[in-house]
Amino acid sequence: RHNSQGDANFLEDETTKNFAQKVADHYSARSNQTLEEREASPIIHLKKLNNWIKSVLIQLYARRGDAVLDLACGKGGDLIKWDKAKIGYYVGIDIADGSIKDCRTRYNGDADHHQRRKKFSFPARLMCGDCYEVRLDKVLADDAPFDICSCQFALHYSWSTEARARRALANVSALLRPGGIFIGTMPDANVIIKKLREAEGLTFGNSVYWIRFDEVFSDKKFKSSRPFGTKYTFHLEDAVDCPEWIVPFDVFKSLAEEYDFELVFAKNSHEFVHEYMKRPEFVELMRRLGALGDGNQDQGTLSADEWEAAYLYMSFVLRKRGQPDKN
């Protein structure tokens, strides 16, 4: 297969598959943590903040009875958040079979997980698959349309090639109803590229994360003619060690438009916190999660290094064009 750029350096299909496998193996190998291990994590407050961000997105956009598609659902860390939103149906897909197994265990309620809880009130379908390769409209023809799709901390894994990025957006677009919502959180390319340019070499970071770009980007110039396949290695202490790809936001936005999405908003995590911590219900949620500091600062209980790592991410909300059915 040819890519539209006809670029000889462009990742070949096999290489892309190998990278996808690498990502899958990485996440599959990450075992479930006990509550004690989780609390001892050097990024526990960052994890709490990220859970708060996802909860806010879900509370803002999920409606009672919604059919939900969770792309790259991982171990099902958001199941409880969806349950609180009283959704009607849930489909979760992830490339890592180890994660899907954990997700199934969590859904069935027989894990020693975070808390003993009653069963989830919605039916769920959990599947292992590559969301950026497979035609999900075919696989999920009987489950569609969905009211809301979520892709949390994972859409950037589709940006290795144009074909995969397109498949990701085409899948979501084909499965959402008109007026349906697509929410997600992913690395903020503007922040990462700014930090790369400020760095002396091709690596930068702090005590909780580092990012290393490949030698091919030693001039630190990103050609707008090649917006896919800009790879870096991301290490987040106690969480991630993976090849990842830059998602230039303007390209993401215009590609999304091609697939009938309009942008509702996009916000860096710092801005997101600042904005939604103005609302008492979300302040209360932050307090319950244990990430609310004692001052007036957005940083809450995060260390300075965790707060800087939070700055690497942004959230987006897209809406599928069209009017929802009246009935």
Residues that bind ligand SAM (CB under 6 A): 20, 23-24, 27, 72-74, 77, 93-96, 99, 130-132, 152-154, 157
Q: How far is the CB of 70 from ligand SAM (least distance, A)?
A: 7
Residue whose structure tokens are 């994890």 = 47
CA distance 245 to 19: 11
CA-to-CA distance for 17 and 19, rounded, in angstroms?
5
- How far apart are alpha carbons 246 and 248 in whole angstroms? 6
User: Between residues 240 and 263, which has the closer beta carbon with respect to ligand SAM?
Assistant: 240
CB count in 10 Å sphere of residue 29: 11
CB 48, min distance to ligand SAM, A = 13
> How do beta strands 231-236 and 209-213 pair?
antiparallel
Distances (CA, A) of 221 to 75, 194, 216, 218: 36, 11, 10, 8
Minimal distance, residue 38 CB to ligand SAM, in Å: 13
The least CB distance from residue 265 to ligand SAM, in Å, is: 19
What's the min distance (Å) between Cβ of 131 and ligand SAM? 4
Question: Is residue 301 a contact partner of residue 290, using CB atoms and an 8 Å limit?
Answer: yes
Q: What is the DSSP string of 12-24?
A: PHHHHHHHHHHHH
| Nearest approach, Cβ of residue 129 and ligand SAM (Å) | 7
Q: What is the dihedral of CA 109, 111, 116, 119, to 10 degrees?
A: 0
Taking each helix axis as running N to C, give the angle between helix 13-29 and helix 97-108, from 0 to 180 degrees, rounded to the nearest 10. 40
Nearer to ligand SAM, 81 or 320 (CB): 81
Q: Smallest gap, in angstroms, from Cβ of residue 62 to ligand SAM?
A: 15
Strands 146-152 and 67-71: parallel
Q: Any residues with CB less than 8 A from the CB of 211 and at least 6 apart, and which?
A: 192, 195, 196, 203, 204, 205, 232, 233, 234, 235, 312
